[in-house]
Amino acid sequence: MNKPYPPLYYSDYLQLDRLLDAQDRKSVAYGQPAHDEMLFIIVHQAYELWFKQILFEVDSVIAMLSHDPVEEKHIGVCVARLQRVTEIQKVLIDQLRVLETMTPLDFLDFRDFLFPASGFQSIQFRMLEIRLGLQSDTRLRYNQAAYHSRVSQEHRDALIAAEQEPTMFAALENWLERTPFLETGDYRFWEEYRAAVQRMLDGERDVIKGNPTLSDEEKQAQLTEQDATAEHFDAIFDADRHRALQEDGTRRLGHRATLAALFISLYRDEPILALPYRLVEMLVDIDELMTTWRYRHALMVHRMIGTKIGTGGSSGYHYLKSTAESHRIFRDLTNLSTFLIPRHTLPSLPGEVRRRLGFTHSAKGQ
C-alpha cells in the first residue's frame, strides 16, 4: 500500500549535516587545538537538547493543569510526562560523569578561550527555572546583579516576559485549591484530623515523660522539640497563621492548596487519589533531581577549577553550591511529611465520601 507521504531519508529528517557541523572548537581557531574541547561542546549541546525536551513536556503539563476543570484523563498524561522529565534529569546527572573524564589540566588547555561565556547564560535552563516556578526575588544575586544581567538584550527581554507566563507552581496550586472532598454535608475532615493529631502528640509526650533512659534535661529538650512540632501542626489548621508564614517566606503554597495536598497524601490509597498523589510526588522528584544536578554540577566545577572564579565572572563553585538549596521550588510539598500521621490513626471517611473517592461498578450498571 502506497503511503501519501514522500520518502524520507534518516539524515535529512534529523538534519544531521547541521547538527554534526555545529562543533566549532575555539582552540582550533586560535591555533592551539585542544582535544577535549570537542567533548566539552558536545556534552553542553546535549544538555541544551534535553532542556528543550523538558521545557516541551513541562509546558504541556502546565497547559493541562490550567484547564478549569482539569479533565481526569489528563492527570494520567501529566504524571507520565513528568515521569519522563525525571528520567531525563537522571541522564543529565549521569552526563556529568562523562564530562569528568576530562581532567582539570585538559580543561585549562582551552578554558581561556571561553571568557566571558558561561553555562549561567543558558537561556533554556533559566526558562526551565521560571516555568517550574522559581521566583525572581528569591534567586541568589549573581555578583550582586540580577540573574539576567549577563545575557543579551534579546534573551533578557525573553526571560522577563517569561516571568509573566503561567508556571507549574501556580497551575498546581490552582488545581489543588479546587480539590473536593474536604467538606461534605456535616462532615468536617480537618476537625477529625486535628483530634487525631492531638492524640498522636499527647501519646508521644507521654512516651518522652515515661522514658526511664532519659535525664530530666533530655526529657525537657525533647518536650521542647515536641512543642515546636505542635506549632507546625497548628499552622495547618489556622489560615491566618499559615498566611503569616507565607508572608515571611517560610511557606509559599496557599492554605487551601496545602490542605488539599496533605489530604491527597494521607488518603493516597483511595483509587481516585492515586494519580493526584503520583503527580504531587513527581514534582517533589523533579525538585529533588534539580537540587541533585545543581550540587553535582557544583562538585564537578570545584574539581575542574578549584576556587577560581567561573568564566562568566561568578564565584564558581561557591555560587553553584548555594543555589542547590536556595533555589528549590516545591519545598512545601516535600515538607508535607511533617504532617503525616500513621495510617491506623487516620479519621475514617464517611461512606458518601469514600464512595466518591472510589470506583464503584454494579452488575446492573448503576
* Each residue's pLDDT tens digit, 164-214: 999 999 999 999 998 766 565 566 778 889 999 999 999 999 999 999 999
What is the band of 309 on the pLDDT scale with cuts at 50, 70, 90?
Answer: low
In CATH, what is the architecture of 25-357? Up-down Bundle (1.20)
329 near 134, Cβ under 8 Å?
yes
Question: For residues 224 and 269, what is the distance between their CA atoms, to the nearest angstrom?
Answer: 34
Q: Which runs of E-coded beta strand occur in 278-345?
A: none
Confidence of residue 314 (pLDDT cuts 50, 70, 90): low
DSSP 28-60: HHTT---TTHHHHHHHHHHHHHHHHHHHHHHHH
Is 249's pLDDT higher than 70? yes
Mean pLDDT (whole number) for 106-135: 94
Q: Label residue 361 exposed, middle or buried (CB < 10 Å: 0-12, 13-18, 19+).
A: exposed
Residues 302-308: what's their mean pLDDT?
84
Cell digits for 140?
541568589
Residues sharing a CB contact under 8 Å with residue 137, sequence separation 6 or more, in sequence order: none
pLDDT by residue (tens digit) across 332-351? 999 999 899 999 889 888 77
C-alpha to C-alpha distance for 328 and 309, rounded to whole angstroms: 24
Determine the Cα–Cα distance for residues 345 and 191; give it in Å rounded to an integer.
14
Cell of 122: 543558558
Q: How far is the first Cα of the chain from the last one, in angstroms, to the nearest whole number?
A: 46
Rounded-to-integer distance, Cα 270 and Cα 4, Å: 48
Question: What is the Cα–Cα distance from 18 to 15, expressed in whole angstroms?
Answer: 6
pLDDT band at residue 305 using 50, 70 and 90 as cut-offs: confident
DSSP H or E segment with residue 187:
strand 187-188
Q: Identify the residue with better confidence: 318 or 48.
A: 48
Q: State the average pLDDT for the chain.
A: 89
Residue 359: pLDDT over 50: yes
Dihedral sign for Cα 285, 236, 75, 273, please. positive
pLDDT of residue 355: 74
